[in-house]
Structures are given as structure tokens and as C-alpha cells.
Amino acid sequence: MLRRLYEWVLALAGKPSAPWALGLVSFAESSFFPVPPDAMMVPMAVSRPDRVWLYATIATVASVLGGLVGYAIGALLFDSVGAWVFRVYGLEGAATTFEESYARYGHWVILLKGLTPIPYKLVTITSGFAHYSLFWFVLLSVITRGARFFLLAALLSRFGVQIRGVLDRHLNAVAAISVAVVVLGFALFKLVL
């Protein structure tokens, strides 16, 4: 099943709808969707290395726009939608603790957590819940999400052929490691709270 999904994403990379699909996943991941856009961007970039910078731009812009939806969920709908998202991730009481970390660490919360495997939707929803400055939220989101996706693009641009070879030969192992990194991100999120 994983191999079919990987080959589907590779085939999608050659279609005109590929950038739209990446944008949709990047947008949704910042507010509610559990799958990170990297899972789509990597196979697309190794299939079409000539478009890697375009993919990074799309992922960044869509992620920040999706982050605004996450912010709105936190600011306007935290008691219903926001609390549900936190429950889905097993972090029922984390939003209040996360809000307290905004008071202590300010901008660093968004900058650091936006680069880590901690799900960005938790940052965006809590930013709205904490009534964090919308201006700073957007500016720091552009910086941190841009850094994440453009660093990934630089790595894919430089090592894309080798990465594709590893994915073609060891897809299951790479997927297992990726899942482990996401689980580690959740564990770290709970630990720092």
C-alpha cells in the first residue's frame, strides 16, 4: 500500500494539479490535517527536481495561510474545534500550558516549534487561543515555515538523486523513520509542556 501511495505521488508530480495538491495538504496541515506536507513534497521534488523551489514556495505560502485558519480556530472556536483537535492528539490540557509558554518565551515558541516535527497546527491553534499578536504570528510563521520548506528544498536540490534511490530501495524503512520522528515530536511537545 505504501509503495502504491509513493508511486501515485510520483505520478502526480508530473501532472498540472501537483502544485495544487501540495498547496492543499500544506494548508490543511497547518490547521487540522495530520499528514505533514513533507510526505508529499519529497517524492514530488525527487520526481521533478526542476520544480523544487516552486514546491517550497507553495508549501510555505499555503502553510502560512492554513496557519491563519488554525489561528482563527484557536481565537474563535477553541472550545469546540480547537479542543477537539487537541483531544485527537491526546493533548487535552496542553493548550493552557502552551499559552503560558507564550508569556515566557514569546516569539521563540513559534520559531522553534515551526521547525520541529511538533505538529504546526498545535502552534497555530494555540496562538489564536492565547490571542498572540496576529502580525507577529504571520511574520514568524513566514520565517519558520519558509526556513523549513526551503531547507528541505535545498537538500532535495542537492541530494535529490540519492534521496530518490534511497526511497526506491528502502521506502518502508524511510516511512518507519518518518513516523518515529513525528511520534518523537509529539513526545517532545508533551515533555516541554
Domain ranges across the chain: 2-192
Quote the pLDDT of residue 185: 63
Report the C-alpha gap between 23 and 33 in whole angstroms: 13
The SS3 of residue 15 is: coil
143 contacts: CB under 8 Å, gap ≥ 6:
111, 114
Q: Which residues contact 23 (CB under 8 A, 6 or more apart)?
A: 58, 59, 61, 62
Buried b (16+ CB within 10 A) or exposed e, 79-117: eebbbebbeeeebeebbeebbebbeeeebebbbebbebb
**pLDDT at position 104:** 79
Please tell me the predicted confidence (pLDDT) of residue 98. Answer: 73
Average pLDDT, the chain: 79
Over residues 148-155, the mean pLDDT reads: 90
Degrees to nearest 5, angle at CA 64 with 133 and 147: 100
The mean pLDDT value for 114-142 works out to: 85
- The lowest-confidence range among 84-88, 106-110, 158-162, 182-186 is 182-186
Q: Which of 27, 24, 22, 70 is nearest to 44 (CA)?
A: 22
With a cut of 90, say whether residue 44 has pLDDT above it: no
Q: What is the pLDDT of residue 102?
A: 74
What is the end-to-end Cα distance of the chain in Å, rounded? 36
Cα–Cα distance for residue pair 123/70, rounded to 1 Å = 8
For residue 16 the three cell numbers come to: 498540472
Q: Give residue 72's pLDDT.
A: 93
Q: Rounded to 5 degrees, what are φ and ψ at 162?
A: -65, -40
For position 174, what pLDDT does the model report? 63
pLDDT > 60? residue 1 = no
